[in-house]
Amino acid sequence: MNKQKESFYEKVRSSILRLVQFVTVDVWKRKSFIGGVIIAIWVSIQNFNDKDLRKKATALSFNTLLALVPMLAVVLAIARGFGFQSTVENLLVETASNNNMEVMDAVFGYVNSYMEKARGGVFMGVGIVILFVSVVNVLRSLEEVFNKDIWYVGKSRNIVRQFVDYISVIVIVPVLMVVMSGFSVYVSSAFSATELGGYFSPVISVWMKVLPFVVVCALFTIIYITVPNTKVKFVPALIAGVVAGSAFQFFQLLYINGQIWVSSYNAIYGSFAALPLLMLWLQLSFSILLYGATLSFSCQNIKNYILKKELEHISPYFKNFMCLVILNVIAKRFEKMETPVSLTEIASENQIPYQLVARLTAELEHNGILAKKETDDEEVVYIPAFDIDKLTVAEVYERMQKDGAGFDDFQFDGDAHFENIKKKNEELYDKYIHLTADILVKDL
């Protein structure tokens, strides 16, 4: 009996080990579609955990909660300007469910009071500025996470472009909310008024259920394309948008239908009973949003992806080699007066892992070898930082090898043997530099 148990446990253990081996090693060697899907999902989950995006989601949730009243004030003010404030308020009430009517009434009271103070008296100009700044700060924080933590883009859009984009988002959101609600009602009533209404009632019913899902997925897709300060292809953004939109809709239903939990908190928290659920909903929403962003990155760069453990253990020899490859591509483009290349183009055209390109270009820029610039459509590209006719292999090695602390930064009490080794090492290094001093990077 004991032998049978041991045999069973051994089989389970062996199956788990084979699964881990397949996911972490074997699948990376396959080029099939299924293999690509598994890799993309695995990589996105790994990136989400490695970059600690849960904490970023928590920070965004907290910032959003602090800016909740100003954000709703902006949305309702725009809705009031277009004449559909009541429609937006009804949508918000439906989202919060009937169990939170006291909370929603209080929130609407705060919002109306905020808008009255913002547009009246001494506080008119200051109030409006604070209102928009509160909303813009949340959007800027989101863009920073997308750029630095997910897409390896060190620079965000300029302030003017950010302001224009954010104001556009602030105006579009309430319009989409009304469209999502009003269009479904319009289609339903239009068909009901015709003789074909009875025949198409099942189709209309399905349509009204599917339309919010389509709108949410489209909204996520637009976010994944427009927010990062780099070029994101449509298909990866669409895949991520559908996955994130589906997850968001699922948790939205849980949030709405799970309001029964609030009743158990009413005795303790009173009218504040909805706050725990609101924080949970914000946390999950931003987690889903950030995971979708990592998924779009993984899908777009899956052919040129490298595992984190491999990226952290690249040899100095291979690092120097890849620096020369990247510089050669950029220098030749510059010499031919062609369009400068972006990180994505360098990675895809030369089959180099995207993360490796991002890391090495950042080091080359730090050492004054490369410079970044923005194109007319705000895409970040790279050009040589100085004359390519003076950019030699020796110059690259000199700048890269001596980046960081050296002999002058440490106090060594070396003996004669130590000094002798140092002298020999410098002689060998000088010989190597002399051999490569006349080799231009562009001619490699």
Query: Is residue 202 located within the same domain as residue 130?
Result: yes
Contact between residue 63 and residue 143 where contact means Cβ atoms under 8 Å apart: no
Contact between residue 167 and residue 135 where contact means Cβ atoms under 8 Å apart: no
H or E element at residue 380: strand 380-384
Neighbours of 175 (CB within 10 A): 14
Where is the domain boundary, 289, 304, 319?
304
For residue 294, the model assigns a pLDDT of 92
Neighbours of 36 (CB within 10 A): 16
Contacts of 116 (CB under 8 A, 6+ apart): none
∠ CA 130-134-136 to the nearest 5 degrees? 115
Q: CA distances (Å), 17 to each of 1, 13, 23, 35, 225, in order? A: 24, 6, 10, 18, 38
Query: Is residue 107 located within the same domain as residue 246?
Result: yes
Query: Is residue 15 located within the same domain as residue 70?
Result: no
Q: Is residue 339 included in any domain, yes or no? A: yes
Q: Which amino acid is at 234?
A: F
- Considering only CA atoms, which of 44, 56, 3 is closest in space to residue 285? 56
Where is the domain boundary, 304, 324, 342?
304
Helix (H, G, I), strand (E, B) or coil at 229: coil
Kindly report the backbone phi and psi dihedral angles of residue 20, in degrees, each rounded to the nearest multiple of 5, phi listed first.
Answer: -65, -40
Helix (H, G, I), strand (E, B) or coil at 200: helix
Which residues does the chain have with pLDDT short of 70? 1-37, 81-85, 87-88, 91-107, 110-111, 114-128, 130-131, 154, 173-208, 255-275, 304-312, 377-378, 404-417
Q: Is residue 65 included in any domain, yes or no? A: yes
Query: Is residue 212 located within the same domain as residue 285?
Result: yes
Helix (H, G, I), strand (E, B) or coil at 381: strand
Q: Is residue 405 included in any domain, yes or no? A: yes
Adjacent-strand bridge partners of 370: 384
Query: Is residue 180 located within the same domain as residue 299?
Result: yes
Query: Is residue 286 located within the same domain as residue 332?
Result: no
Q: Is residue 272 included in any domain, yes or no? A: yes
Half-sphere exposure of 81 (CA within 13 A, CB side): 11
Rounded-to-integer distance, Cα 237 and Cα 226, Å: 10
In the block, residue with structure tokens 């001596």:
402
Q: Is residue 388 included in any domain, yes or no? A: yes
Query: Is residue 222 located within the same domain as residue 241?
Result: yes
Half-sphere exposure of 405 (CA within 13 A, CB side): 3
- Considering only CA atoms, which of 47, 35, 46, 45 is closest in space to residue 303? 35
Tokens in use for 347?
């990675």
Contact between residue 146 and residue 137 where contact means Cβ atoms under 8 Å apart: no
Query: Is residue 394 located within the same domain as residue 367?
Result: yes
Rounded-to-integer distance, Cα 34 and Cα 41, Å: 11
Q: Which domain holds residue 237?
A: 53-304
Tokens in use for 174?
């309430």
Tokens in use for 287?
């987690």
Question: How many domains does the chain divide into?
Answer: 3
Q: Is residue 212 included in any domain, yes or no? A: yes
For residue 241, the model assigns a pLDDT of 92
Q: Is residue 262 included in any domain, yes or no? A: yes
For residue 163, the model assigns a pLDDT of 75
* Range 346-353 contact pairs with CB under 8 angstroms and sequence separation of 24 or more: 346/382, 347/301, 347/304, 348/303, 348/304, 350/325, 351/303, 351/304, 352/304, 352/322, 352/325, 352/326, 353/301, 353/304, 353/305, 353/306, 353/311
Query: Is residue 143 located within the same domain as residue 281?
Result: yes
Contact between residue 359 and residue 346 where contact means Cβ atoms under 8 Å apart: no
For residue 289, the model assigns a pLDDT of 93
Query: Is residue 340 located within the same domain as residue 237?
Result: no
> Residue 389: which CATH number?
1.10.10.10
Tens-place pLDDT, residues 112-149: 776 666 565 555 556 567 667 777 788 888 888 898 88
Q: Is residue 48 included in any domain, yes or no? A: no
Query: Is residue 348 located within the same domain as residue 329?
Result: yes
Rounded-to-integer distance, Cα 154 and Cα 150, Å: 11
Contact between residue 262 and residue 273 where contact means Cβ atoms under 8 Å apart: yes
Query: Is residue 38 located within the same domain as residue 143?
Result: no
- Considering only CA atoms, which of 408, 341, 346 is closest in space to residue 375? 341
Tokens in use for 325?
């490859």
For residue 215, the model assigns a pLDDT of 79
Neighbours of 74 (CB within 10 A): 26
Where is the domain boundary, 251, 272, 304?
304
Contact between residue 292 and residue 219 where contact means Cβ atoms under 8 Å apart: no
